Amino acid sequence: MDVAGGSVDGETGIGRLLRGLRARRGYLGAKADWNAEYADGKWQFLHNTDQAGHYELIALYRSRLKPGGSVLDVGCGEGILHDTIGLAQGLRYVGIDPSELAIEIAETTATGNATFRVATAENFQTWEKFDIIVFNEVLYYCADPAAMISKYAGFLKPDGIFIVSMALCGVRDGLTKLEVWREIERHARVTTEVSLVGPAAGWIIKVMAPIVPPASVVNLSERRKVAVLA
């Protein structure tokens, strides 16, 4: 029984409420919905100057913490982070997004060893291991953000890191994001964090390392690989 938002089995009442809201809103969603939103220009504002700060900071973390490191950008949209990083020849970058239209736009500026794929965060699988996995304004669309962190830990190299960014726009939005942070911090520890404040929104950006080392995580792809080798 939950009393005034108390905890049951480690989850608060508001946590269960917000989880339900996210499940209905989920990132998995219908691809047609995401395509329609990109076609209607709903996400064009992400190219505006007032949005540049959190992209620049993610790019800075990448260059300082993992110079030359490979990047998996989950929910890459039209490839803004790819363009912000300014990939050197040979640097490995993979961007995934459920919108075919967004991926088509991203591919027009692909450079070096960059690849864009149509995939949801939930369904994506790969044999590849990355130095950095970026969740830039993505996890709060997922029905189970903690499960995403656990899954993607299996795609990190042994010393790999997550870079997670979440915007804050108002009290209700802030409560939703706070609960997401609480969920994922059970599975990854924060090594660095910073807050940015803009005219219309703020951002919290954290560098995180899996609590369970990536080398000990066996994801679905690895299980299949073991089965084939056996």
**What's the pLDDT score for residue 32?**
64
Q: Where are the beta strands (DSSP E) in the chain?
A: 7-8, 11-12, 71-74, 92-97, 113-118, 130-136, 156-168, 188-197, 202-210
Residue 43: strand, helix, or coil: coil
Give the Cβ contact number of residue 176 at 10 Å: 20
**What's the pLDDT score for residue 58?**
95
Instruction: Answer whether residue 217 shows pLDDT above 70.
Output: no
**What's the pLDDT score for residue 171?**
62
Instruction: Answer whether residue 73 shows pLDDT above 80.
Output: yes
What does pLDDT average to over the chain? 80
The burial of 185, by beta-carbon neighbours within 10 Å (0-12 exposed, 13-18 middle, 19 or more buried), is given as middle
6: which 2 tokens? 């108390």
Considering only CA atoms, which of 118, 171, 121 is closest in space to residue 145?
Answer: 121
Every domain of the chain and the residues it spans: 31-229
> How sure is the predictor about 143, in pLDDT bands with cuts at 50, 70 and 90?
confident
Instruction: Answer whether residue 154 shows pLDDT above 90.
Output: yes
Cα–Cα distance between 88 and 108 in angstroms, integer?
17
CATH of segment(s) 31-229: 3.40.50.150
